[in-house]
Amino acid sequence: MEKNTWLLYVLMAGLCWGTYVPLIAFGGKNLSVGPSAPFAGRYAAFLGVGVAYMIIAVLFPLIRSQVVSEPILGKGTSVGLIFALLAGTAGALGALGVIFATATAGPEDRIYIAPLIFTLAPLLNTVVSLFWHPTADNPLHFGAPEQMPSWKLFVGVVAVGIGAGLILLSKEELEQKPAPAPIVKTEPAKE
């Protein structure tokens, strides 16, 4: 494989996750049964996400292992399986958070959901990745970074934080503007 093939997978994830919030918001809204059960459509959308995960995350490895004659589980440990399940749980709870955020936000607030989520997530990921250095013997090993990243990473983190601040300022500015006057339809004068 090429040295930078991983960038194609980053692009794939970014394109998929970048469209996730609008897709799930639209799906949940259109699965809604009405005001008597406001979350029913959101739960149905979450079920759809689960089915898609099952198809892709369960069937893909099974089919691939048969096609390339490669075992799914090697000499893995129970710790690896536990942390993989924790990752899946975090992903599912994150998806549920997105669904609830889109369900409870007003139409004017929904545009802020994805930028805030995808600002918080990389900031948290950076901090965790800097200080968490798990090993098979000690999966909860925390400490100083083993190799300090370039100053550019920290400038990027600050830029992301500034971006989140600008998103919130933009939201507040919009909320402070007076609402436009309603359009009143008038009948043309009769002669």
Q: Which of 108 and 44 is assigned the larger pLDDT?
A: 44
Q: CB 49: neighbour CB atoms within 10 A? A: 20
Choosing from 104, 138, 154, the residue where a domain stops is 104
Nearest to 103, CA basis, from 190, 27, 7, 166 = 27
Question: Which of 105-119, 138-152, 177-191 has the weakest average pLDDT?
Answer: 177-191
Percent of the chain with pLDDT over 90: 12
DSSP assignment of 35-93 equals: TTSTTHHHHHHHHHHHHHHIIIIIIHHHHHHHHTT--S--S--HHHHHHHHHHHHHHHH
Two tokens, residue 189: 């004068």
- Say whether both 3 and 80 belong to one domain: yes
- Say whether both 48 and 91 belong to one domain: yes
Is residue 164 within 8 Å of residue 120, measured between CB atoms? yes
Domain containing residue 72:
1-104
In a domain, 183, yes or no: no
Choosing from 65, 87, 104, the residue where a domain stops is 104
- Say whether both 24 and 62 belong to one domain: yes
- Say whether both 90 and 116 belong to one domain: no
Residue 72: the pLDDT is 74
